[in-house]
Amino acid sequence: MLTPTRPRATLLAAGAAAAGLLLGSLTGGVSHAADDHESCRPDGLHRTPGVAVPYCTAYDAEGREKMGADHQRRVIGYFTGWRTGKNGEPAYLASDIPWDKITHINYAFGHIGVDNRLSVGADGPDNPAIGMTWPDVSGAEMDPAFPYKGHFNLLGKFKKQHPDVKTLISVGGWAETGGHFGADGSRVDSGGFYSMATNADGSVNQAGIDTFADSAVAFVKKYGFNGVDIDYEYPTSMKDAGNPLDHAVSNPRRAGLVKGYAALMKTLREKLDRAGAADGKHYLLTVAAPSSGYLLRGMETFQVQKYLDYVNIMSYDLHGAWNEYVGPNASLFDDGKDGELAAAGVYSTSQYGGIGYLNTDWAYHYFRGSMPAGRINIGLPYYTRGFKNVQGGTDGLWGRAPSTNCPAGTGLTRCGDGAVGIDNLWHDKDTAGRESPAGSNPMWHAKNLERGVVGDYVTRYGFPAGTTLTGTYVRKYDATLVAPWLWNAEKKVFLSTEDEQSVSTKADYVVDRGIGGTMVWELAGDYDWNASKGQYETGDTLTTAMYEKFRTAAPYGARRATTPMPAEAVDVKAEFGQFPLGDSNYPISPKLKITNGTTATLPGGTEFQFDYGTSAPGNAKDQSGFGTTVVRSDHTGGNVGGLKGDHHRVSLKLPGWQTLAPGASVELDFVYYLPVSTPSNWTVTFGGRTYALAGDLARGTTVVDPGAGSSGGGSGTGGTTGGTTGGGATDGGATDGGTTGGGGGQCTAPAWSATAEYGGGTSVSHNSRTWKAKWWTKGEEPGTTGEWGVWQDLGAC
Please tell me whether residues 650 and 792 are part of one structural domain: no
| 292-342 pLDDT per residue, tens | 999 999 999 999 999 999 999 999 999 999 999 999 999 999 999 999 999
Whether the per-residue pLDDT at 551 is higher than 50: the answer is: yes
Q: How far apart are CA 576 and CA 592, in angstroms?
A: 5
β strands within 115-154, DSSP E: 118-119
Q: Which of 76, 123, 126, 105 is nearest to 169 (CA)?
A: 105
Whichever domain contains 609, its CATH number is 2.60.40
Closest Cα partner for 183 from 108, 106, 113? 113
The secondary structure of 401-463 as a DSSP string is -EES-PPTTS--SSEE-B--GGG-TT--B-TTS-B------BHHHHHHHHHT---TTGGGGTP
**What is the average per-residue pLDDT within 14-42?**
49
- Contact between 678 and 303 under an 8 Å Cβ cutoff? The reply is yes
Q: Which domain holds residue 239?
A: 25-299+501-516+543-558
Asked whether residue 229 is domain-assigned, the answer is yes
Residue 435 resides in a domain? no
Dist. CA 340–CA 25, nearest whole Å: 41
Structure confidence by residue, pLDDT tens digits, 754-787: 888 887 778 888 988 888 888 778 888 888 877 6
Looking at the fold, whether 178 and 189 belong to one and the same domain comes out as: yes
SS (H, E, C) 252-297: HHHHHHHHHHHHHHHHHHHHHHHHHHHHCCCCEEEEEEECCHHHHH
Mean pLDDT of 269-287: 98
Residue 774, pLDDT score = 80
- In a domain, residue 100? The reply is yes
Does residue 317 sit within a domain? Answer: no
The CATH number for 775's domain is 2.10.10.20
3-state SS, residue 208: helix
Mark whether 726 and 758 lie in a shared domain: no
State whether 672 and 763 are in the same domain: no
Q: Would 264 be classed as within a structural domain? A: yes
Q: Which of 26-30, 211-215, 746-750 has the lowest mean pLDDT?
A: 26-30
What value does the mean pLDDT of the chain take? Answer: 90
Over residues 242-250, the mean pLDDT reads 95
* Burial class (CB within 10 angstroms; exposed 0-12, middle 13-18, buried 19+) of 256: buried
Q: CATH number, domain at 93?
A: 3.20.20.80
Question: Domain tally for the chain?
Answer: 3
Q: Are 651 and 759 part of one and the same domain?
A: no
- Residue 125 domain flag: yes
Query: Is there a single domain that holds both residue 566 and residue 596?
Result: yes
Confidence check: pLDDT of 4 > 70 = no
Q: Which of the listed residues 732, 757, 778 is the one where a domain comes to its end?
A: 732
Q: What is the pLDDT of residue 326?
A: 98
356 falls within a domain? no
pLDDT (average), residues 462-475: 97
| 522 prior amide bond cis, ω within 30 | yes
User: Cβ distance 565 to 681 under 8 Å?
Assistant: yes
pLDDT for the residue 737:
29
Same structural domain for residues 148 and 249? yes
Domain end residue (candidates: 732, 766, 786): 732
Q: Is residue 111 within 8 Å of residue 192, measured between CB atoms?
A: yes
For residues 42 and 147, membership in a common domain is answered with yes
Same domain? For 710 and 761 the reply is: no
- pLDDT tens-digit readout, 560-608: 999 999 999 999 999 999 999 988 898 999 999 999 999 999 999 999 9
The stretch 687-708 carries a mean pLDDT of 94
Residue 711, number of CB atoms within 10 A of its CB? 15
Is 566 in the same domain as 612?
yes
Over residues 343-370, mean pLDDT: 96
Q: SS3 for 109? A: strand
Last residue of a domain, one of 680, 697, 732: 732
Tell whether the model's pLDDT for residue 718 goes beyond 50.
Answer: no
**728 with 744, same domain?**
no
Nearest one of 142, 120, 123, 144 to 133, comparing CA atoms: 142
Over range 668-695, report the average pLDDT.
Answer: 97
Strand order in the sheet with 621-622: 572-577, 591-596, 665-671, 621-622
Residue 295 and residue 271 share a domain:
yes
| Among the ranges given (79-93, 257-271, 416-430, 772-786), the one the predictor scored with the smallest mean pLDDT | 772-786
- pLDDT, residue 709, reads 52
Rounded average pLDDT over 349-362: 96
- Please report which confidence band the pLDDT of residue 716 belongs to, taking 50, 70 and 90 as the band edges: very low
Q: Is the pLDDT of residue 424 over 60?
A: yes
Predicted confidence band at 711 (pLDDT cuts at 50, 70, 90)? very low
Q: 65-104, pLDDT tens digit by residue?
A: 999 999 999 999 999 999 999 989 999 999 999 999 999 9
Mean pLDDT of 118-132: 97
pLDDT digits (tens, 9 = 90+) for 599-637: 999 999 999 999 999 999 999 999 999 999 999 999 999
Mean pLDDT within 644-667? 97
Backbone phi, then psi, for 536, in 5-degree steps? Answer: -80, 145
The answer on pLDDT for 736 being more than 50 is no
Domain presence at residue 646: yes
d(CA 772, CA 558): 46
Distances (CA, A) of 776 to 113, 756, 779: 65, 11, 11
In degrees and rounded to multiples of 5, residue 272 shows phi and psi of -65, -35
Alpha carbons 787 and 775: distance in angstroms, whole number: 14
pLDDT value for 539: 98
Is 687 within 8 Å of 704 (Cβ atoms)?
Answer: no
Q: Confidence class of residue 35 from pLDDT cuts 50, 70 and 90?
A: low
